[in-house]
A and B are shown apart, each in its own frame.
Chain A
């Protein structure tokens, strides 16, 4: 039998591949999976399984995400009747204290106003005379700075403390399980409930003042100076965030190959040198993860303030000196939703920026 010559079908020479089409094709084509059904017939069943989750996510996650962004740009949005007065950027301005309202709720910009340092008021001069303008300063004066202070104090402190505790735990043999359990207890407790306990501890007639002999000085009660309340708040937040970090660091430490410690011993490295040059760098993926999640969590700090103080101020409700950004958002839900949405969007942007920065910085220093 003579072999037939087969002609190559030259008409099927490759055209220039369309990169966009290729991208989507790659995205949506199932990869080869060993053993799993790669057939088409699984498709519809899979969607059935996914349906409940996807529907719930669509309604309560994806749609809200877009909707909140939209609301942030709506003026005077009333959610019961769903009417608004049109699109505006002023919501952001109000939140940041740049846009104010006169008594008759007209919008005025800060650079159009004059500040009277005697009466400490702003006023707008128009054709009809001078009108007093009110600016929302809660966010700019209190919420944003408080949140930043909380973040930049509690995150480094809690990471360092939990790192030391984890390394200590990793190096002992006896009572290890006991210590692990003890250090994990704060995680299972209620943030509000334990916040109230801390309020008792820091009461002006409480045990902290007693131990350190500070007299009857209020820390978190009304009439407490802001800096004292912040200290108490930061201590509480650090205390509450230790267990999670310790758990993660400990599991990361246990994954480090013992041979590196042996090699460090042979290289005559002492305990401290080993820790700084071997342990911490090999732990850097976990440290990065904790840093990012801690930053994000501390930007969203709310329940700690409620638990510890109960209200956003320690001076009898005059100024909201213990405000945080998220506290503001929740307060605005019952007020002008637009402001809350704008603040939420701002929060989102800040978090994204910080996370991106951290990722950039980590590229050089994190070793996988």
Chain B
């Protein structure tokens, strides 16, 4: 505060002095030295020091070592703390699934079940009709993933290697669609799906070789057979494959099709695996759209839909033990995928950030 005022008054003072053509003795000397008159600063005599001042090297080294150790401990402590927070819900999930309902409900919570109850899992299998839902999800997941792979490979190849009019414009438009919230499309997609000729909405079977169930499943699969994000991902990968291979293939007389399947796809296999796994995970985790589309028949639902709201007693109290067991059964496959394919998953997700 005082400094600011002082600067103001100094400036005013200087200005006035110059205005009245009065010079202090100091300013006259400063003019001689050709240094602006700044009363309290003489830079040639200034010594700049570090935070610890003029401590000698021994002291500095001690401070440095201590600081180093303390710093490292703090960082590790912070990371361990956050890691525990991140892992805690999983831990709780496991032990709750092994507890009895009374123990869960007791006022005194335990960190390890007093009796390990595997019966919760048995109840789940018996009452949850687990296999149906898993089967549904797998069918939907695999077919939609395979379809996505096909469309993505084709489209990425076209954008990466082929040349056609409007290529950049169309790609720009596609990227723009990624910014639009999905909710804008959901409403119309629902209407579209419900009015497609081979799908009669809640009105019974359709003639021909497609059953009602098939159409419900189709409506869960087909809208998601294309994903701009994966096209972008694969296109980046395709672009990194050197163009000389393409020219060499051309010289050998191979067509684009052969080049695509014999050269590019094998070379881009890691990305394709990433896409496959991410899409499969997405199908396993999908909730909103299947919920919307299968409201008429519970048995066609996917795993996540069935999970929510299940296992409540007649009085409405959720049976947490059984719920947790079911949750674990739903989550474990994902974790297994993660353990085996961690590299692919993280690489696929991480690519998204580079674009920014």
Contact = CB atoms under 8 A, between A and B. Distances in A.
B82 A165 contact: yes
B86 interface: yes
B157 to A, nearest CB: 6
B238 to A, nearest CB: 12
A190 B284 contact: yes
Q: Specify which of A49, A52, A337 lies most central, judged by the most chain B CB atoms within 10 Å of its CB.
A: A49
A203 interface: yes
Nearest to A183: B86
Interface stretch (A9-17, A121-129, A144-152, A339-347): A339-347
A289 B329 CA distance: 35
A156 interface: no
Contacts of B155: 49-50, 52-54
B129 interface: no
A201 to B, nearest CB: 6
Contact of A68 (B152, B163, B184, B246): B184
Interface string A37-64: 1110011011101101110110111111
Given A50-B154, A239-B89, A192 B191 contact: no
A246 to B, nearest CB: 10
Interface stretch (A87-95, A102-110, A130-138, A325-333): A325-333
Interface stretch (B1-9, B22-30, B219-227): B219-227
B106 A172 contact: no
A310 B308 contact: yes
Interface in B141-161: 150-152, 154-155, 157-158, 161
A345 to B, nearest CB: 7
Contact of A210 (B108, B331, B337): B108
Interface string B245-267: 01100000000100000000000
A224 interface: no
B349 A30 contact: no
A37 B163 contact: yes
Contacts of B179: 296, 355
B241 interface: no
B348 to A, nearest CB: 11
A36 B243 contact: yes
B90 interface: yes
Interface residues of B, number: 103
Contacts of A182: 83, 86-87
A261 interface: no
A333 B338 contact: no
Interface in A192-220: 192-194, 196-201, 203, 205-207, 210, 216
Contact of A330 (B243, B247, B288): B288
A45 to B, nearest CB: 6
B275 interface: no
Contacts of B51: 270
B324 A200 contact: yes
A357 interface: no
A113 B75 CA distance: 61
B163 A337 contact: no
B184 A344 contact: yes
Interface size class of A (residues with CB under 8 A): 35 or more
Contact of B79 (A35, A56, A165): A165
* Majority secondary structure, B binding face: helix
Given A206-B109, A329-B186, A185 B158 contact: no
A119 interface: no
B320 A200 contact: yes
A188 B353 contact: no
Interface string B304-339: 100111000000001010011001001100110110
Contacts of A67: 188, 191
B316 to A, nearest CB: 8
Given A36-B163, A68-B187, A333-B292, A201 B151 contact: no
B181 A348 contact: yes
A56, A179, A180 pick with most chain B CB within 10 angstroms:
A56
Interface string B82-120: 110111011011001000000011111100000000000
A104 B177 CA distance: 41
A247 interface: yes
A45 B320 CA distance: 57
A333 B186 contact: yes
A35 B243 contact: yes
B134 interface: no
B161 A36 contact: yes
Contact of B226 (A34, A53, A71, A306): A53
18 contacts: A43-B164, A52-B151, A52-B225, A57-B228, A67-B188, A79-B195, A80-B195, A169-B79, A172-B76, A182-B83, A185-B90, A190-B334, A205-B109, A207-B109, A247-B349, A248-B353, A251-B350, A329-B186
Interface of B: 50-51, 71-72, 75-76, 78-79, 82-83, 85-87, 89-90, 92-93, 96, 104-109, 150-152, 154-155, 157-158, 161-170, 174, 177, 179-192, 194-195, 201, 222-223, 225-226, 228, 231, 243-244, 246-247, 256, 281, 284-285, 287-288, 292, 295, 304, 307-309, 318, 320, 323-324, 327, 330-331, 334-335, 337-338, 342, 345-346, 349-350, 352-356
Given A28-B166, A60-B189, A179-B79, 18 more contacts: A27-B168, A30-B164, A50-B154, A52-B150, A56-B226, A68-B184, A184-B342, A191-B285, A192-B285, A192-B304, A194-B327, A248-B350, A270-B51, A285-B356, A296-B181, A334-B295, A337-B187, A344-B187
